[in-house]
A = this chain, B = another copy of it.
Amino acid sequence: MFKVIDGGITAPKGFKAAGVHAGLKKMKKDMALIVSDVPAVTAAAFTTNKVKAAPVLWDISVLAGGEAQAVVVNSGNANACTGVKGLEDAKETAGYAASKLGLRQDKVYVSSTGVIGVPLDMAKIKGGIDELIPALSSDGADAADAILTTDTFRKEAAAVADIGGVAVTIAGMAKGSGMIHPNMATMLSYITTDAMIDQKTLQELLGNTVEDTFNMISVDGDTSTNDSVIVLANGLAGNVKITESYGYEAFEEAFRFVLGELAKDIVKDGEGAGRFIEMTVLNALTKKDAKVLARSVVSSSLVKAAFFGSDANWGRILCAMGYSGADFEPSLVDLSFSSPAGELLVVKGGEPVKFDEDKAKKILLEKEVKVMADCHQGTESATAWGCDLTYDYVKINGDYRS
């Protein structure tokens, strides 16, 4: 049981944020700052890409300390493929913000997204930090706007959990995979909470939750060099410290909700996406099989193109399950589509069921469509989220950089 509330990263006690236009982008806000009033326990998850942007390398060293108090984000320049200079710039960004905030450098995370292969304009970055600090407030909206790139809407979520009678707030903001002029899709997310929580417990919880949320979405299957999820837990709620054996389930439920909402918003705002697809696999042999199957379906270009055409193309879904590498028995699978317009069984025991094509079309014309595959083999389930493949995706990503 948790309560959903409005608001973003400043909803938990003791967090301030700001977003400004520092001149890295032409017009839009392009730098954000999050600061906790007190040192916070931290957890984070970063891109698995071998090519890691400089700020990610810096952040890995911050995470190793287990404690952080601020995050500086710029959404104009990814500071990726920038060599030794890039690493120095990331470190200098943290150092500059730290000195202005009266913090230690290794308590400041740095995130970047945007053009790659171009050195950071450190004068603009420092100017941005100078502007951000006086702009810090208890309104998280400017920060949530400032991390966006080609996103079409702000992504925030917040919830309150009850930990032994104490209200603990968890909130987050994210930017989705919008094509960045001129480069790659990046997913950034920041989670704040006033929970008092054990660092190890928080890191483990984040790992598990990312697996079920951010790692179960697919826009185009490309994993960026800058993907980051950063959590700060400052303990100001005054709860008894959450550990694996105290308050964990209640906290986890709300935490999972916040990350899940942000993940789904990213897919809904996927580049050129016109339709949101929720793929659930039921009764698989193992949790891993369920996940691999669900993810394979939402990642298939053929499936995505079929959804663009509102085509009840169950064959492509079975096919994508088939090549996923997961263990399942095709001849046992039931497949159905559903949406606000109704529900329809299309495959029973691996073979097609005669269905009303008009009804199928009606169901698939809705903005949000659910697909359910029942493997009838085990008890494990998983859900993945994706979007259709549209002309606009090709247009956005095919546009010449200049």
Given A221-B301, A222-B320, A308-B398: A313 touches B183 (CB 8 Å cut-off): yes
Across the interface, do B399 and A309 meet the contact criterion of CB distance under 8 Å?
yes
Cβ of A302 within 8 Å of any chain B Cβ, yes or no, is yes
Across the interface, do B351 and A51 meet the contact criterion of CB distance under 8 Å?
no
Please name all residues of chain B whose beta carbon is closer than 8 Å to the beta carbon of A320 when the two chains form the complex: 222
**CA–CA, A290 to B318, complex, Å?**
31
From residue A277, how far is it (CB to closest CB) to chain B in Å? 14
Across the interface, do B311 and A182 meet the contact criterion of CB distance under 8 Å?
yes
Across the interface, do B315 and A80 meet the contact criterion of CB distance under 8 Å?
yes
Number of A residues near B (Cβ < 8 Å) is: 69
The stretch of A89-97, A105-113, A261-269, A322-330 in contact with B is A322-330
Please name all residues of chain B whose beta carbon is closer than 8 Å to the beta carbon of A179 when the two chains form the complex: 302
Cβ of A50 within 8 Å of any chain B Cβ, yes or no, is yes
Of A51, A310, A351, A361, the most chain B CB neighbours within 10 A belong to A51
Cβ of A319 within 8 Å of any chain B Cβ, yes or no, is yes
Across the interface, do A350 and B83 meet the contact criterion of CB distance under 8 Å?
yes
Cβ of A184 within 8 Å of any chain B Cβ, yes or no, is yes
Across the interface, do B322 and A50 meet the contact criterion of CB distance under 8 Å?
yes
**CA–CA, A316 to B301, complex, Å?**
18
Given A305-B394, A322-B49, A393-B305: A316 touches B83 (CB 8 Å cut-off): no
Please name all residues of chain B whose beta carbon is closer than 8 Å to the beta carbon of A402 when the two chains form the complex: 357
Across the interface, do A184 and B319 meet the contact criterion of CB distance under 8 Å?
yes
Question: Residue-by-residue, is A69-96 near B (CB-CB < 8 Å gives 1, otherwise 0)?
Answer: 0000000000011110000000000000
Across the interface, do A225 and B322 meet the contact criterion of CB distance under 8 Å?
yes
**CA–CA, A224 to B390, complex, Å?**
22
**CA–CA, A398 to B389, complex, Å?**
8
Please name all residues of chain B whose beta carbon is closer than 8 Å to the beta carbon of A394 when the two chains form the complex: 305, 308, 389-391, 393-394
Question: What are the nearest 4 A-B pairs in CB distance?
Answer: A51-B322, A305-B397, A309-B398, A117-B352
A residues in contact (CB < 8 Å) with B:
47-52, 80-83, 116-118, 179, 182-185, 220-225, 300-302, 305-306, 308-316, 318-324, 326, 328, 330-331, 347, 349-352, 357, 361, 388-391, 393-395, 397-402
Known: A81-B347, A117-B352, A220-B301. 10 other contacts (CB 8 A): A50-B321, A81-B315, A81-B352, A116-B315, A182-B313, A184-B316, A223-B323, A225-B318, A309-B399, A389-B394
A-B contact pairs, 21 of them (CB 8 A): A48-B323, A50-B326, A81-B315, A81-B330, A83-B349, A83-B351, A117-B351, A183-B315, A183-B316, A222-B300, A222-B316, A222-B320, A223-B322, A305-B394, A308-B398, A309-B398, A311-B399, A388-B398, A389-B394, A389-B397, A391-B391
